[in-house]
Amino acid sequence: MAVLPITICGDPVLHRPAAPVTEFDASLRTLVDDMFETTLAAPGVGLAAPQVGIGKRLFVWMYEDQDEAPENGVAINPELWIAPIEPGLPGEDEVEGCLSFPGERFALRRSARALLRAHDIDGKPFEIEASGWFARILQHEFDHLEGLLYVDRLVHPESRGAQKAERKNGWGKPGLSWLPGRDDLEG
Protein backbone atom coordinates (compact mmCIF):
# COMPACT_ATOMS: atom_id res chain seq x y z
CA MET A 1 0.00 0.00 0.00
CA ALA A 2 1.07 3.58 -0.60
CA VAL A 3 0.14 7.03 0.60
CA LEU A 4 -0.99 9.06 -2.42
CA PRO A 5 -0.65 12.82 -3.03
CA ILE A 6 -3.91 14.68 -2.42
CA THR A 7 -4.93 17.21 -5.08
CA ILE A 8 -5.75 20.74 -3.96
CA CYS A 9 -8.61 22.99 -5.04
CA GLY A 10 -8.10 24.18 -8.61
CA ASP A 11 -6.94 20.90 -10.12
CA PRO A 12 -9.31 20.06 -13.01
CA VAL A 13 -9.98 16.50 -11.75
CA LEU A 14 -11.68 18.01 -8.69
CA HIS A 15 -13.98 20.23 -10.72
CA ARG A 16 -15.57 17.82 -13.20
CA PRO A 17 -17.82 14.80 -12.78
CA ALA A 18 -15.99 11.50 -12.35
CA ALA A 19 -16.42 8.59 -14.76
CA PRO A 20 -18.02 5.29 -13.72
CA VAL A 21 -15.81 2.41 -12.63
CA THR A 22 -16.06 -0.36 -15.24
CA GLU A 23 -13.37 -2.81 -14.12
CA PHE A 24 -13.47 -4.52 -10.71
CA ASP A 25 -9.93 -5.84 -10.86
CA ALA A 26 -6.61 -5.93 -9.01
CA SER A 27 -5.77 -2.33 -9.95
CA LEU A 28 -9.05 -1.17 -8.39
CA ARG A 29 -8.22 -3.10 -5.19
CA THR A 30 -4.79 -1.46 -5.09
CA LEU A 31 -6.32 1.99 -5.55
CA VAL A 32 -8.85 1.38 -2.75
CA ASP A 33 -6.11 0.07 -0.42
CA ASP A 34 -3.97 3.12 -1.21
CA MET A 35 -6.94 5.43 -0.59
CA PHE A 36 -7.50 3.87 2.85
CA GLU A 37 -3.79 4.28 3.63
CA THR A 38 -3.92 7.92 2.47
CA THR A 39 -7.06 8.65 4.52
CA LEU A 40 -5.40 7.23 7.62
CA ALA A 41 -2.18 9.20 7.05
CA ALA A 42 -3.95 12.50 6.31
CA PRO A 43 -5.85 11.96 8.75
CA GLY A 44 -9.36 12.08 7.36
CA VAL A 45 -12.72 10.36 7.56
CA GLY A 46 -13.26 10.00 3.82
CA LEU A 47 -11.50 10.32 0.50
CA ALA A 48 -12.81 10.32 -3.08
CA ALA A 49 -10.78 9.12 -6.06
CA PRO A 50 -10.68 12.60 -7.68
CA GLN A 51 -8.87 13.81 -4.55
CA VAL A 52 -5.96 11.55 -5.46
CA GLY A 53 -6.07 12.57 -9.12
CA ILE A 54 -8.22 9.67 -10.36
CA GLY A 55 -11.44 10.74 -12.11
CA LYS A 56 -13.39 7.61 -11.15
CA ARG A 57 -16.67 7.30 -9.21
CA LEU A 58 -15.53 5.83 -5.91
CA PHE A 59 -14.84 6.93 -2.38
CA VAL A 60 -13.78 5.40 0.92
CA TRP A 61 -14.75 6.23 4.47
CA MET A 62 -13.19 5.53 7.87
CA TYR A 63 -15.69 6.56 10.53
CA GLU A 64 -16.33 4.71 13.77
CA ASP A 65 -19.03 6.90 15.34
CA GLN A 66 -22.02 5.43 13.51
CA ASP A 67 -24.03 2.22 13.60
CA GLU A 68 -25.34 2.17 10.03
CA ALA A 69 -22.35 0.59 8.25
CA PRO A 70 -18.89 -0.88 8.78
CA GLU A 71 -16.49 1.73 10.16
CA ASN A 72 -14.35 1.36 7.02
CA GLY A 73 -16.03 1.11 3.64
CA VAL A 74 -15.85 1.78 -0.06
CA ALA A 75 -18.63 3.03 -2.33
CA ILE A 76 -18.15 2.39 -6.06
CA ASN A 77 -20.45 4.00 -8.63
CA PRO A 78 -22.65 5.37 -5.84
CA GLU A 79 -26.04 7.00 -6.01
CA LEU A 80 -27.10 9.23 -3.12
CA TRP A 81 -30.48 10.52 -2.02
CA ILE A 82 -30.82 13.03 0.78
CA ALA A 83 -33.66 14.25 2.95
CA PRO A 84 -34.64 17.91 2.58
CA ILE A 85 -32.12 20.28 4.12
CA GLU A 86 -33.42 22.34 7.02
CA PRO A 87 -33.60 26.03 6.08
CA GLY A 88 -31.37 28.61 7.70
CA LEU A 89 -27.71 29.40 8.14
CA PRO A 90 -25.36 26.67 9.33
CA GLY A 91 -24.35 26.57 12.98
CA GLU A 92 -21.03 25.99 14.74
CA ASP A 93 -21.82 22.28 14.94
CA GLU A 94 -21.89 22.08 11.12
CA VAL A 95 -18.26 22.98 10.46
CA GLU A 96 -16.42 20.63 8.12
CA GLY A 97 -13.10 20.48 6.36
CA CYS A 98 -11.70 18.89 3.22
CA LEU A 99 -8.36 17.27 2.45
CA SER A 100 -8.42 19.12 -0.91
CA PHE A 101 -8.86 22.45 0.89
CA PRO A 102 -6.39 21.58 3.66
CA GLY A 103 -6.25 23.25 7.02
CA GLU A 104 -9.41 25.30 6.50
CA ARG A 105 -12.86 24.69 8.04
CA PHE A 106 -16.19 26.31 7.28
CA ALA A 107 -19.82 25.79 8.29
CA LEU A 108 -22.11 24.19 5.74
CA ARG A 109 -25.73 23.13 6.15
CA ARG A 110 -26.26 19.54 4.95
CA SER A 111 -29.08 17.04 5.16
CA ALA A 112 -29.35 15.08 8.40
CA ARG A 113 -30.18 11.86 6.50
CA ALA A 114 -28.95 10.14 3.36
CA LEU A 115 -29.52 6.92 1.46
CA LEU A 116 -26.47 5.49 -0.33
CA ARG A 117 -26.67 2.80 -2.99
CA ALA A 118 -23.35 1.62 -4.38
CA HIS A 119 -21.18 -1.39 -5.15
CA ASP A 120 -18.46 -2.84 -2.94
CA ILE A 121 -14.95 -3.82 -4.05
CA ASP A 122 -16.29 -7.12 -5.45
CA GLY A 123 -18.99 -5.38 -7.49
CA LYS A 124 -21.77 -6.47 -5.12
CA PRO A 125 -24.53 -3.86 -4.63
CA PHE A 126 -25.34 -2.56 -1.15
CA GLU A 127 -27.48 0.11 0.48
CA ILE A 128 -26.91 2.21 3.60
CA GLU A 129 -29.27 4.58 5.38
CA ALA A 130 -27.12 7.13 7.21
CA SER A 131 -27.79 9.93 9.65
CA GLY A 132 -25.89 12.67 11.46
CA TRP A 133 -22.18 13.05 10.72
CA PHE A 134 -22.04 9.83 8.74
CA ALA A 135 -24.70 11.26 6.38
CA ARG A 136 -22.57 14.42 6.13
CA ILE A 137 -19.48 12.39 5.21
CA LEU A 138 -21.36 10.52 2.48
CA GLN A 139 -22.69 13.80 1.03
CA HIS A 140 -19.22 15.39 1.15
CA GLU A 141 -17.53 12.48 -0.64
CA PHE A 142 -20.35 12.09 -3.17
CA ASP A 143 -20.00 15.79 -4.03
CA HIS A 144 -16.39 15.11 -5.04
CA LEU A 145 -17.65 12.62 -7.63
CA GLU A 146 -19.92 15.32 -9.05
CA GLY A 147 -17.02 17.80 -9.40
CA LEU A 148 -17.93 19.82 -6.29
CA LEU A 149 -15.92 20.75 -3.23
CA TYR A 150 -17.76 21.66 -0.06
CA VAL A 151 -16.52 25.24 -0.45
CA ASP A 152 -18.53 25.44 -3.69
CA ARG A 153 -21.70 25.03 -1.59
CA LEU A 154 -20.90 27.63 1.08
CA VAL A 155 -23.10 30.68 1.59
CA HIS A 156 -22.02 34.14 2.74
CA PRO A 157 -20.14 34.86 4.99
CA GLU A 158 -18.52 31.41 4.88
CA SER A 159 -18.04 31.59 1.10
CA ARG A 160 -16.09 34.83 1.44
CA GLY A 161 -13.78 33.24 4.02
CA ALA A 162 -13.12 30.30 1.68
CA GLN A 163 -12.32 32.64 -1.22
CA LYS A 164 -9.84 34.54 0.97
CA ALA A 165 -8.21 31.29 2.10
CA GLU A 166 -7.88 30.10 -1.50
CA ARG A 167 -6.16 33.36 -2.53
CA LYS A 168 -3.95 33.45 0.59
CA ASN A 169 -2.75 29.87 0.00
CA GLY A 170 -2.19 30.32 -3.74
CA TRP A 171 -4.69 27.60 -4.63
CA GLY A 172 -7.16 27.55 -7.50
CA LYS A 173 -4.74 26.43 -10.19
CA PRO A 174 -3.87 23.02 -11.67
CA GLY A 175 -1.09 20.79 -10.41
CA LEU A 176 -1.14 21.52 -6.67
CA SER A 177 -1.07 18.66 -4.18
CA TRP A 178 0.21 17.65 -0.76
CA LEU A 179 1.47 14.35 0.60
CA PRO A 180 0.23 13.19 4.01
CA GLY A 181 3.12 12.34 6.29
CA ARG A 182 5.50 14.61 4.42
CA ASP A 183 3.81 17.98 4.01
CA ASP A 184 2.62 19.95 7.04
CA LEU A 185 -1.01 20.23 5.92
CA GLU A 186 -4.27 18.74 7.08
CA GLY A 187 -7.94 19.32 6.34
Could you give the residue numbers annotated as active site? Answer: 141
For residues 5 and 53, the answer to whether their CB atoms sit within 8 Å is yes
Q: Residue 140: which of 172, 104, 108, 93 has the closest Cα?
A: 108
9 annotated ligand-binding residue? no
15 annotated ligand-binding residue? no
What's the half-sphere exposure (Cβ side, CA atoms, 13 Å) at 184? 0
Distance of CA 143 to the CA centre of its chain: 7
Quote the CA–CA distance of 31 and 110 in Å, as a whole number: 29
For residues 44 and 6, the answer to whether their CB atoms sit within 8 Å is no
* Binding site listing for Fe cation: 98, 140, 144
